[in-house]
Structure 1
Amino acid sequence: MRSEGISRARFLAGAAALGVAGMTGGRAAAQGRSGLAYRGVSYEVTDGETAETSWNAARMRRDLRVIGDELKANSVSVYGDGVDRLAVTASEAVERGLHVWLQPRLGDRPQHEILDHLAETGRHAESLRRQGARVHLSVGCEFVLFVPGIVPGDDALERVRNMLSGNFDPVTMRRRLRRFTARAAKVGRSVFHGPMTYGAAQDEEVDWTLFDLVSVNYYSYFPHRADYVRELRKYRRPGKPVVISEFGACTYKGAPEKGGMGWDVVDYDKPQPEIVGGLVRSERSQAAYLTELLDVFESMSLYAALVYNFVTPDAPHRADPRHDLDLASYGIVKPLWGAPDQPTRDWHWAPKEAFHALAHHFARSAT
């Protein structure tokens, strides 16, 4: 579970709508080069905490240009809430020649609203697919955290705390999770006729017969590569490509070891949110972890890997390490606000070491 404060057509000439058979063939063709058919980054479309950091169409277009032209990604995971934002962003990504994973992520709302939101998003994905776009639909992400009623808690953060403290019934949780996942798969199939998956947490028990691909949000840390390979083998299923739908690390020494809880180092009760624990900024640690895992995924000829994530606008980089919220961000670029305490309309970002390392890795893999 990542929070970062608990708070993203010129269709490809000759591209055909992908089915499972076409998906497998694309995988085989790509393995001769890198072992990954798709390599890219996650891009969030959910509104931010302020008008300045909220989703913006012009900024989105610039970011997607960078993702394709400078990061050298061939795929992007467009996720978040707001059907219109998801649709516009996915269409722009397709226009720029990117493969798209479209994942609605409406959280902390009644279950029927979450499913309705999925249906509307799926209809847009199907429209893109019918026009020849390369698009996969993911019916959601880590339902146990984002969907009310599976574990106790009024919001995702409270559910995280309850799970960490053991304040839930595992048997009830698994039953409710299976039930909702089946409902989401049924809704997805009713509106989308291409390859479909679900962004599962590492320890979720998912009925993968409901989906065409196995997708896992992967945040493990091991000192030896062989341990990653050993753990990842358990996700293999006959005839189902394996997707690393998220992987990433925050931007301080020791962050890779903290995995999916690396964001939990900010004291939001202070007048100005403050980094706790005397953390040391390390863009190099983040970059090294990401590229090492890409090497592992490629060595296993997995189907796709998506870095989490491109940018977190509400986590600005600051010179003072106590208030450098970018330390707690998984972003591969760092937001630079125009004022110390609030973003201005012209806030911008700068690439981190991870951006450059990934661009080099992606470019090399594509040759």
Structure 2
Amino acid sequence: MNRTAREGEEGMVRNEGISRKRFLAGAAAVGVAAATGSLVAPAPAANAAAGARRGLKHRGVCYTVGAGETPGTRWSTARMREDIRVIAEELHADSIEVTGDGVERLRSTSSEAAERGLHVWLQPTLGDHSEQEILDHLAETGRHAERLRRQGADVDFSVGCEFWLFVPGIVPGANGRERAENVAKGNFDWELMTQRLREFTGRAAAVGRSVFHGRLSYAAAQDETIENVDWNLFDIVGIDYYSHLPRRADYVRELRKYLRWGKPLAICEFGTCAYAGAPDTAGMGWNVVDHDKVPEEIIGDLVRSERTQAEYLLELLDAFESMGLYAAMAFEFVTPDAQHRRDEPRYDVDMASYSIVKPIKDRPDDPASDWHWEPKQAFHALAKAYERARR
């Protein structure tokens, strides 16, 4: 999920002290008694061809668009264009997931990526707004995706990301933080949540189909007990994947269940943070920052390890390649507001971000300061793997 979405879970994980995987499993346990056979979609035969084919079709990175949290990190078209150039020419990606909110930012970024010849996975992720506002935002973005498709771009359209947590009305709560807390504490009706989630996913899919006539998808949480998507609504199965398992065969075994729909499988997000032990948090590695302090401060005595991040990315990429999946997008290219402080580990918030480059401010304590990024080991590792695959 994107940075805004992750911060929506912050209240829950600070209090509970659990990983994303444990959170999902715990929430599932709350409703297991309510789960019935009717909640499980019929499973077609497994996609044997997808399982037998080796090599990903698309290898890429997530690029989150947003307004920015400070004057210094506000949205910049010039920065975006340079980032897209680097993704195409230096990271050697052939795909990019353009995600986030703001229709104009999504339009300009996806257009730039298409002009660079990249496969575009366009995914609007407007959260904490009314259902109608989210659907309107989705429709406007989808119309642009259709224009790109008709112009000859290779574009897939995803209608959103993990609706169960970020769309008001599915789980009680005024915002992402409250909804996360209610799910963690079991303060919700399991059957009602499942019904509302399915209804909204169906509405989103219908809106997507009405404006976009190419391949449609959605980015679901990897725990099917929490988010049991009817993939008959979509052309591509999309999963946000953050498992950390001992062997490649274990990843393959876990992912194989998503092939039962007989449709291409895309990994919409995979990645970890740049400190020792981060992969074991299974998607909650960012939950080690005290955002109430100024400047923001790392909690505990973490040891920065770009190598840990790089090795994990390659480990998962190897599993995805072995299965011949449709696409895999590393999360994420850059997190502008998570700055790297080389000589101050306590304030090195970048080690708790998933970005494969590290933002460095000219004046670390100045919200209006200009900044640049430098590649992490993860960037170099992916660049080598992507270049080798393209050759």
TM-score (norm 1): 0.91
Contact 1:2–1:263 (Cα < 8 Å) also in 2: no
How far, CA to CA, are the matches of 2:248 and 2:190 in structure 1? 31
Question: Within the alignment, does 1:332 sit opposite 2:359 as a pair?
Answer: no
Aligned residues: 346
Question: Within the alignment, does 1:60 sit opposite 2:80 as a pair?
Answer: yes
- Structure 1 residues without counterparts, runs of 5 or longer: 8-23
TM-align CA RMSD: 1.8
Question: Within the alignment, does 1:362 sit opposite 2:386 as a pair?
Answer: yes
Identity %: 64
Residue of 264, 276, 279 corresponding to 1:241: 264
Question: Within the alignment, does 1:226 sit opposite 2:246 as a pair?
Answer: no
Contact 1:337–1:344 (Cα < 8 Å) also in 2: no
- 1:261 counterpart SS class: coil
Q: Judging changes above 3 Å, is the alpha-carbon distance between structure 1 residues 88 and 2 closer, same or farther for their aligned structure 2 residues? A: closer
Q: Show the 5 A alignment for 1:181-196.
A: 181-196=201-216
How far, CA to CA, are the matches of 1:157 and 1:330 in structure 2? 20
Aligned to 1:82: 102
Q: Which amino acid aligns with 2:166?
A: F
Residue of 298, 303, 307 corresponding to 2:326: 303
Say which structure, 1 or 2, has more relative contact order (CA 8 Å, 6+ apart).
2
Aligned to 1:6: 7
Question: Within the alignment, does 1:351 sit opposite 2:375 as a pair?
Answer: yes
Q: Judging changes above 3 Å, is the alpha-carbon distance between structure 1 residues 73 and 237 closer, same or farther for their aligned structure 2 residues? A: same
Deviation sequence 1:110-141 (CA, Å, 0-9, x none): 00000000000000000000010000000000
How far, CA to CA, are the matches of 2:289 and 2:140 in structure 1? 35
Greater CA deviation, 343-352 or 40-49? 343-352
Deviation sequence 1:86-115 (CA, Å, 0-9, x none): 001000000111010011111100000000
Aligned to 2:347: 323
Contact 1:129–1:135 (Cα < 8 Å) also in 2: yes
Aligned to 1:13: none
Deviation at 1:321, TM superposition (A): 1.4
Deviation sequence 1:22-65 (CA, Å, 0-9, x none): xx9xx98xx97x61110000001111111221221000000000
Deviation sequence 1:330-364 (CA, Å, 0-9, x none): 00000001112135553100000000000000011
Residue of 119, 123, 140 corresponding to 1:99: 119
Greater CA deviation, 345-354 or 118-127? 345-354
Question: Within the alignment, does 1:158 sit opposite 2:178 as a pair?
Answer: yes
TM-score (norm 2): 0.85
Aligned to 1:17: none
- Structure 2 residues without counterparts, runs of 5 or longer: 9-46
Runs (4+) off by over 4 Å:
none
Q: Show the 5 A alignment for 1:190-229.
A: 190-203=210-223, 204-229=227-252
How far, CA to CA, are the matches of 2:144 and 2:333 in structure 1? 23
Deviation at 1:223, TM superposition (A): 1.6
How far, CA to CA, are the matches of 1:168 and 1:248 in structure 2? 30
